A and B are shown apart, each in its own frame.
Chain A
Amino acid sequence: MAANTQDFVIVGAQSSEANEHISKPALSFWQDAWRRLKLNKLAVISMWFLVLILAFAVLSNFFVPQKQANAFNSDKVGVYKNLPPNSSLPIPGWNGKIKAPGDTTATDVYESQGVPENKKFILGTDNIGRSVAKRVTVGLRISLLVAIVATLIDLVVGVGYGVFSGWKGGWVDNVMQRIIEILSSIPNLIIVTMLGLLLGGGVLSIILAIAMTGWLGMARQVRNMTLTLKERDYVLAAKSLGESSFKIAVKHLIPNMAGTIIVQIMMTVPTAIMFEAVLSAINLGVKPPTASLGSLISDAQAMLQFYPYQVLIPSAVLVLVSLAFILLGDGLRDAFDPRASED
């Protein structure tokens, strides 16, 4: 009998190393999300694009001040107005020549308006001779500023409201949810317009108006997450250890829904940029001569037929920025919630 037991060898029990070797390194939630995000090329490109755009918006403060972009020489409007984009290279359609409707050949507007040789405007000029490149730079700055501040307000109000409502529960939650329901049954445009009218336009009023309408979605999602999270054992443990509600919210609830919150923010930013543009288009946006992407688009719209670049350049910038935010948001959603992604 003794010999028989010798015949059996227990596989894999020779060393604890072989037994407990884990082939993948242990990753925290954030590391795992970051790893998955990196797999999504479009999201990574969008992220770097946005980093560059943000850096550009901040750094351009030094070499394109707001004042310089707004100023124009009233004596030389005739010389500098409505110049087409000129890259100083012989690229077709980007050489300072423009084909007027009805004409067959393109004319060099720089020559015909008598612009000095060394003056080239890479994105052209507007109807009073201001550089479109500079206007778009400061416009982008204002649009991003509006979007980011409005989003921060959304974040504070929306998350705070949602956590409070979900955590309290009962009639408090009921009343708070009815308030959200009522507010969301008024079209956003109306609220934004009302506030714009009341506050009389300008950057601050736009930020407030957008923030007022943006937090509803965030509050709803955060409240739903809070309702499920507050039943979890770790919250119960924290409660029984005598942790205050505020600390539980900050230390346990909010970190656990960070993914949802970040994804929601990525969707809020482009919405805010678009709303700013809409407000500017109905004359409730930034006040001239200040430029935002929206006001640039709506101001130049009347001249679309003759100087399309004045409309299309700021439009393209606006679309690219919101596209990048949306793509990054999509990537983050898949990264934070692997079950939602299809691979």
Chain B
Amino acid sequence: MWKYILKRLVLLIFTLFLVITVTFFLMQIMPGTPFNNPKLTPEALAQLKTTYGLDLPLWQQYLNYLIGAAHGDFGTSFQYQNQPVSMLIGQRLPVSAQLGAQALVVGVIAGLIMGAASARNKNNKIDGTLGVISTLGISIPSFILGIVLVYVFGFKWPLFPVSGWGDSFSQTILPTIALAVSPAAVTTRFVRSEMIESLGSDYVQLAKAKGLSAKEIVNQHAYRNSMIPVLTLIGPMAAGLLTGSTLIEQIFSIPGIGQQFVLSIPSKDFPVIMGTTIVYSAMLMVMILITDILTAIIDPRVRLQ
């Protein structure tokens, strides 16, 4: 187990190193610079380049960046002068994390309930309705859902505020729903098929033969055994929520890391783009590693090589 975790950690650090390297050199060949203001004199431009360390040879810049990144320092933003990227990310990450966590919790719980209801009512009306809902949930992108929610609950029936963050909890409701629908739909489908499989398995037959009620069987046997595969879904889902919220943050003007990422693209704020990329990738990898480890702990049948 420890050996496996160690191996995965080494691969994780190696991957991160690759991501940093690739993004660093990609940024070098990106067309355009943030300093193309015609008002800048050559002297001022040189001054700016020195400030940001852009006059050094490339390999030295790369080394500096690597060393900095290892210490959690991702350089200075071009756009917001003298603001370290790590600080900008540090301010905005909690907002995105809160939104993502809310959506994940709501989505997974809704998915568990709907999936179980669907499996227990296999092939009847309830199952059919839930099937339609989950298929719709998968085919509607979260940003379109966000727009529709803004229109319906913001403008037609103004029940919730349509933008902003941090003033009241009600501001988080619409973006949370918009983000939670797709995880809920995916979980529903997954739980349904897992549960149908476990309801047909030998231990459920045995429990039936012993005279347990349908409710007891579902709650004590089927649910627990369909829970483990759901865990493997959560890691990628959590990471998907992070990137999915990029557009949702923009639609609802939520000051999260995704909104900052989008804003830094047209202004060619390369340090911010790079920093965000690295943070996103690191989070995705860590989350997948954590789910893999959790699965192994909970399900003794899974052996980590």
Contact = CB atoms under 8 A, between A and B. Distances in A.
Nearest to A274: B141
Contacts of B123: 342-343
Interface centre among A304, A312, A323 (most CB of B within 10 A): A304
B247 A187 contact: no
A51 interface: no
24 contacts: A101-B155, A182-B15, A185-B15, A186-B277, A187-B239, A187-B243, A187-B281, A194-B277, A198-B26, A198-B31, A270-B139, A281-B143, A282-B265, A283-B266, A284-B265, A297-B143, A297-B147, A301-B147, A305-B151, A305-B155, A311-B147, A312-B147, A322-B139, A323-B139
Given A277-B143, A283-B265, A330-B135, 20 more contacts: A101-B155, A178-B11, A185-B281, A185-B285, A185-B288, A186-B19, A186-B277, A187-B281, A188-B243, A190-B277, A193-B273, A197-B26, A197-B273, A277-B144, A278-B246, A282-B265, A305-B151, A305-B155, A315-B144, A319-B139
A181 interface: yes
B280 A187 contact: yes
A182 B26 CA distance: 17
Contacts of A186: 19, 277, 280-281, 284
B1 interface: no
B70 interface: no
Interface residues of B, number: 45
Nearest to B155: A305
A277 B138 CA distance: 15
A47 to B, nearest CB: 15
A282 B281 contact: no
B280 A190 contact: yes
Nearest to A185: B285
Interface in B226-273: 239-240, 242-243, 246-247, 250-251, 261-262, 265-266, 273
Interface centre among A197, A198, A301, A343 (most CB of B within 10 A): A197
Nearest to B289: A185
Interface in A299-343: 301, 304-305, 308, 311-312, 315, 318-319, 322-323, 326-327, 330, 342-343
A281 B247 contact: yes
A200 interface: yes
Interface of A: 101, 178, 181-182, 185-190, 193-194, 197-198, 200, 270, 274, 277-278, 281-284, 297, 301, 304-305, 308, 311-312, 315, 318-319, 322-323, 326-327, 330, 342-343
B29 interface: yes
Main secondary structure of the interface of B (DSSP, over half): helix
A194 B155 CA distance: 35
Nearest to A293: B144
Interface of B: 11-12, 15, 18-19, 23, 26, 29-31, 122-123, 135-136, 138-141, 143-144, 147-148, 150-151, 155, 196, 239-240, 242-243, 246-247, 250-251, 261-262, 265-266, 273, 277, 280-281, 284-285, 288
Top 8 A-B pairs ranked by shortest CB distance? Answer: A323-B139, A189-B243, A322-B139, A187-B243, A315-B144, A274-B141, A185-B285, A182-B15
A282 B262 contact: yes
A281 B277 contact: no
A198 B28 CA distance: 10
A323 B144 CA distance: 13
B247 A278 contact: yes
Contacts of A190: 243, 277, 280-281
A304 B26 contact: no
A312 B284 contact: no
A308 B151 contact: yes
Contact of B284 (A185, A326, A330): A185
Given A301-B147, A322-B139, A281 B243 contact: no
Contacts, number: 108
A309 to B, nearest CB: 10
B151 A319 contact: no
A9 B250 CA distance: 84
Contacts of A178: 11
Given A278-B141, A282-B246, A304 B147 contact: yes
Contacts of A308: 151, 155
A305 B15 CA distance: 45
Contacts of A318: 141, 144
B147 A315 contact: yes
A188 B243 CA distance: 8
B31 A319 contact: no
A312 B122 contact: no
Nearest to B144: A315
Nearest to B192: A342
Contact of B136 (A185, A200, A323, A330): A323
A160 to B, nearest CB: 23
Contacts of B143: 277-278, 281, 297
Contacts of A200: 31
A204 to B, nearest CB: 15
Contacts of B135: 323, 326-327, 330
A343 B30 CA distance: 54
Contact of B250 (A281, A284, A319, A327): A281
Contacts of B240: 187
A297 B262 CA distance: 17
